[in-house]
Amino acid sequence: MRVAEDLNAALHAVMAADPAVYLLGEDIADPYGGAFKISRGLSTRFPGRVLATPISEGGFTGVAAGLALAGDAAIVEIMFGDFIALAFDQLFNFASKSVSMYGSRKPMRLIVRCPSGGGRGYGPTHSQSPMKHFIGMPGLRVYELSPFHDSTAVFEEMLATAEPCLFIEDKVLYTKQSGTAAVPFHWSSDGTIARVFLDDHPDYILIAPGGVAHRAMEAMRSLLTEAELSGTLLVPSRLWPLSVTADMLDELGARATLVVEESTAGGTWGAEVAHQLGRPLTVVHSRDSVIPTAAHLERDVLVQPSTIHRRVLEALRD
Amino acid sequence: MRSILLDPAGTKPADPSDDDLEALLLIRHFELALLELYSSGALNGTTHTCLGQEYIPVAVSALLTEADFVFSNHRGHGHYLARYRDPHGLLAEVMGREGAICAGVGGSQHIHRDGYLSTGVQGQSLPVAAGLALHLRRAGGGGLACVYIGDGTWGQGAVYEALNLAALWRLPLLVVVENNGIAQTTPTTSQMAGTIADRALAFGIRHLAVESSDVAEIRDVLADPVELVRLGDPLVVEFATHRLGPHSKGDDVRPAEAIAAAAAHDWYARQLRDGDQRFTELDAAARDHVQQVVAEVAARPASVWQDAS
């Protein structure tokens, strides 16, 4: 099954399971089903609970927060994750704050889906990875779509936390196969962290969210065939609060650990991971740049398998 | 769909009922007590008093039911007291004392209890209220979401996104605008082009202008239009009102004549001037009551934030 189908099935499942769940966003109604077709079939199946909105991210994210405040649950589709900037006040000053600023814990079941990332030539305002702007916001959790996590379970978990959740979806994942590791690697998952590995004694560890998992696996292959280095990839579903622990790294006992993400440089998730884990960690991210449209320029800015390959060799040499 | 002006110019307002007068006086003396507490250094942070505007929530609250949800703002003490008559809880919240509505975490401008919520960011509440109204409409109990905003709030784009959705989706949304002619220190004439009425009408939303401060008269005029809101016909009610005090504290830069002009509309001064025995008695009782509340709450231990992470 493709990741897009898995995600669509997850939305169907949570809306079928709970009549209080709404979906809001631009152009999400059938037959279009959203810019990336992730919301396909939902407006037909759940009329009245799937609300195609005007171009008003701040407005409809606020509406979703109002539904959550009233005890319903709301899933918001931001057409391109970059546009979440327009809903920042509702998330930063209202939805996340409401969880605790009224003195007792207030359940706020709100999920904001953000198709993110580059690699598709959409240019500087349609290709960013916005999660770094939401790290360390009390009352807000950050998750990322992953090919190694069952999206239905992840959506159930996010709703069960009763806190607003940002769900980052790297657009390049939509067409990939779900639950498939690159040959010759195996994979396993405890539901929280997925592990892609060759053996139990890796030379290095990569920590990477779902969106860069395929690039990480490609680097693991080239490092194996060209340098006979064995790696283990850890893919967390929840990025914040951090779900990878220092114990996991110590148990694997690798000589180097790298955290890889597509965000451009500065205030990255990876920097916070390194800080929290308290281990010597190499942080790998995209260049400090806008994300260009032309394929050759975009490739030069964004993290590539070759970037990861090179940084692993450097880390092991140091 | 039209803009209606309710203006009883020249007529002397009727005396409010005992109950309304008690509510008006409770809010007045509560706000005065807060300013005193701030000047004496007894309070942390800041406050925004609604001196002169008390009659608006007193009039509106009687039109609301338990099924309705009220959204308030930074200048919200009157909205809260008119609905719940709970000066102890509110003062404890402002002072960070035991019995605070929100454990002292929210303070003056972030308060939430069943059917009531205030936030400190201008315009933010309107989309949230639209969502709440969507919930209420689906619940089918005839409830509405009532949002208090000011004239300054109309500078925020969130207001227009919410009005568009409310009109488009026929949401039971009542927007109460307390147009006191000034946003912090900026006169409305310096920050708003056109009118609130025209802005509401642009979305096909009914607009009512109210210049009266007569509680009973306001209710008479609003009763039917508010019932229509419950059927999914949103409404903007714009009160022409007057802020007697500063935006928060010690920050009133208006010329003396502007402050005097606002004071000339003060319902309290008018009642005091025309007042009979009943007003004098209720006024003294409210002042005493608030003083007791202050003494009692100030003596309480500090609030405890049980859910602190």
What does the alpha-carbon distance between residue B236 and residue B4 come to, in Å, rounded to a whole number?
11
Instruction: Quickly tell me which residue has 């709301």 as its tokens.
Output: A74
- Judge: B102–A53 Cβ closer than 8 Å, yes or no: no
- Judge: A65–B128 Cβ closer than 8 Å, yes or no: yes
Task: Assess whether pLDDT exceeds 90 at residue A184.
Answer: yes
* H or E element, residue A221: helix A213-227
Size of interface A-B (CB pairs under 8 A): 118
Q: Which residues of B are less than 8 Å from A71 in CB distance?
A: 135
Nearest CA in chain A to B110: A102
Helices B215-230, B18-39: inter-axial angle, 10-degree rounding: 100
CB neighbours (10 Å) of residue A140? Answer: 22
Q: Are A114 and A78 within 8 A, CB to CB?
A: yes
Residue among B204, B208, B176 at smallest CA distance from B5: B208
- Judge: A101–B110 Cβ closer than 8 Å, yes or no: yes
Q: Are B208 and B222 within 8 A, CB to CB?
A: yes
Q: Are A243 and A236 within 8 A, CB to CB?
A: yes
Average of pLDDT values for A28-52? Answer: 97
Number of H helices, E strands in chain B: 12, 10
Out of B128, B157, B307, the one facing A94 most closely (by C-beta) is B128
pLDDT of residue B247: 83
* Strand, helix or coil for residue B149: strand
Q: A250 in contact with B at a CB cutoff of 8 Å?
A: no
Give every CB contact of residue B264 below 8 A, 6+ residues apart in sequence: none
What does the alpha-carbon distance between residue B185 and residue B191 come to, in Å, rounded to a whole number?
11
Task: Provide the pairing of β-strand B116-118 with B69-72.
Answer: parallel
Q: What are phi and psi of B200, to 5 degrees?
A: -65, -45
Average of pLDDT values for A60-83? Answer: 98
What does the alpha-carbon distance between residue A95 and residue A89 come to, in Å, rounded to a whole number?
9
Q: Would you give the distance in Å from CA B102 to the centre of its chain?
A: 19
Average of pLDDT values for A281-292? Answer: 98
Q: Name residues of chain B where pLDDT drops below 70.
A: 1-13, 309
Average of pLDDT values for A222-238? Answer: 98
pLDDT digit string, tens, across residues A37-46: 999 999 999 9
Residue among B8, B63, B97 at smallest CA distance from B225: B63
Q: Which residues of B are less than 8 Å from A112 in CB distance?
A: none
- Enter the pTM of the model: 0.95
ipTM of the complex: 0.95
Give the bridge partners for B235, in sequence order.
B174, B206
Residue among A97, A90, A85 at smallest CA distance from A138: A97
Alpha helix (H) ranges present in A228-304? 246-252, 269-277, 295-301
pLDDT of residue B250: 77
All structural domains of chain B:
3-8+17-298 (3.40.50.970)
All structural domains of chain A:
3-173 (3.40.50.970), 186-317 (3.40.50.920)
Structure-block tokens of residue A62: 């606020």
